Amino acid sequence: MPAFFIRRRCLNWCLAALVGWSVCASAQTASTVMTENDLAMKQALDAARDRRWDDIDQSAVQNHVLAGYVEYHRLKSRLPSASAAEVNDFITRYGDSPLADWMRGVAQTTFGRLGRFDDLLAISDGEPSSTIRQCYYYTAMLDRNPAAAAKGGEALWHVGSSQPSECNTLFETLAARGVLTDEDTWERMMLAWENGQSGLVTYLERGLDDSWQRAIDSFDTVRGNYAAVTQVPLDLGPDGAASAALITAAMHGLTRADTEASLEAWRKIGAHVDLDADQRQKVEHDLAFYSMVRDVDNNQGWVDSNLPRLADADLIELRIRHAVTAGNWPNVERWVQALPPDVRAEAHWQYWLGRASEQTGNQTQARQAYQLAAKDRSFFGFAAADRLGQPYQLQMAKTDVTPLQQELTAMLPVVQRTEALMRIGEDGLARSEWYTAAARDTPDQAAALADYAIRQGWYGMAIQTTIAAKQWDALPWRFPPAYRASFLKWGETNQVDPYLLMGIARRESAFNPRAISPVGARGLMQLMPGTADHVASGLGISAPSTAALFEPQVNIRLGSTYIHSMLERYRGNRIAATAAYNAGPQRVDRWLTSAPPEFDRFVESIPFRETRDYVQAVLAYRVIFESLAKQGNTQGVAMLSPSEREGQYDPTLIARN
């Protein structure tokens, strides 16, 4: 918990430090002081996890708001002998807590392992989420609902990777019943080949009888030479069942190995092979996608001829990006118009329709497209507003919660459990409690939770609450002034726009100071330890410990210093600097050598989707933060500086290496 959290009492606070941001509020924050009962609860929970039941003072914790957590571990430990009725009773009593779903899941696994299938179904409320539980679930249904078991088992079978051993009984029974046939084995074998799972391919091949030998021989030929797909016989396997899956898998490999040769092969065989609609769509989607991604010029005519028939919005969007990068404005207009209506209406594509229309002289259509785009709260929506010379539209909803609602929210069991879990240092469990409630509650209840989280200073939880509840327009909750004093301090020290820093932190961690990425980036601004060490060295300070990167002050200081170095590298250009913060400066330097010169075309040409989206989000977020600092007024707020809008995006943007 941040150090500035205060005891639960009504305290008035008013900070107006951040560039005219005047916010005065009455904030209640939960006590972070562990009581004697909390200490007993923490000791009991630790003991329960270790199954040290004699160490638990039951009388001290039985009336605690977190007593269910100890009960969960106790019931979990005796599930092999527990009844379905006991499990369902627990699930009912803790239905507003993640404990209910956790208990259902662990009971499904236990009952499935023990073959207690009637009990497994008695505690289930539909298909489970994990593969192992799904296998147990459909095994339980084999003699109770054979049709559902067959459908579920077939879906579990048709994957290109190994499934857990818990699925064996299900698969063996379905095979014995004739539901899973040799044709299914062959199809899965081809999926495994596509997926590079050679061990699974060998295992599945052993299960095929001699009637499949000719198909296996053809597979061995194509396996060593994708181009041999043009010689695959069309009558492989019993009743010719093997050819379609083999050709589909071989085209998968050839398209990735040599896209130009793959199209030539497809032109030879495409009209003659008997593929179903899904298989044909898969082959041609891959051909179109890799032809565009790899800029295979000789394939472009085929791509343009077939995109309308494929009717895939993602492929058409990729085609638009290529036309934007090339500056082919008639093609931009053509392909935007080819998008499905709901996609075409998005600000992103209306903006490019406006740009294309402007370039081709259709000023009326350009203005109409810009006006539609400018209604959106996004990078391209704001860019369209700039084209029109009008203020940005935030489309901000009211976030009013009455004092009575606030009082009632503080009394909710989920709030009491969340605060108690935080007091005993179980922040992960606290977040689980909160997000479970946010996802299940009505919009009004979720709004009250978001408001409560903001007033406690639980900024990351407030943001996640709005996401779970789909409160997209609740901007004060989605973009709170979190850690603003630190962003102001280090922004001023490092001469970096604090709104940009807030935009980066909002995108990187959603203001969760304890965030850790899959690759090990840490804290509010998601710093890699190596990067943090390098920045610290440049500042002449000791390298921070891993734990220190979770401290907002440390993280913001180092992150703001790093983004300052990127701004220096790119002559103060925030688009390039933000891209470098995400993808690394070496990549951005390389992109600038062949980038379109205008800012919008440069952003659209960024080859990494993650970085493209990142740049757009951060710059849009900084507009929102600045506007909220002015009580939602966007007058005078500019997403980009004149030099960023009008400058050249080429190697001259690089000030130093």
Active site members: 508
CA quadruple 166, 168, 169, 174: dihedral positive or negative? positive
CB burial string 380-404: b at 16+ within 10 A, e below: bbbbbbbbeeeebebebeebebeee
Count Cβ atoms below 10 Å from residue 470 Cβ, excluding itself: 11
How many whole angstroms separate alpha carbon 314 and alpha carbon 267?
Answer: 23
Count Cβ atoms below 10 Å from residue 211 Cβ, excluding itself: 12
Distance set, CA 653 to CA 339, 478, 657 (Å): 34, 34, 11
**Contacts with 124 (C-beta within 8 Å, 6 or more apart), sequence order:** 104, 108, 137
Count Cβ atoms below 10 Å from residue 154 Cβ, excluding itself: 15
The pair of structure tokens assigned to 309 is 């028939």
H or E stretch covering 410: helix 403-410
Axis crossing angle, helix 146-157 with helix 131-140, rounded to the nearest 10: 150
Distance set, CA 58 to CA 63, 288, 417, 438 (Å): 9, 65, 18, 31
Count Cβ atoms below 10 Å from residue 276 Cβ, excluding itself: 11
How many whole angstroms separate alpha carbon 626 and alpha carbon 39?
Answer: 43
How many whole angstroms separate alpha carbon 317 and alpha carbon 346?
Answer: 12
Distance set, CA 299 to CA 263, 271, 296, 365, 619 (Å): 7, 18, 6, 32, 36
How many whole angstroms separate alpha carbon 201 and alpha carbon 186?
Answer: 9
**Contacts with 316 (C-beta within 8 Å, 6 or more apart), sequence order:** 307, 335, 338, 339
The pair of structure tokens assigned to 139 is 């095994």
Q: Residue 236 carries which side chain, given as an amino acid letter?
A: L
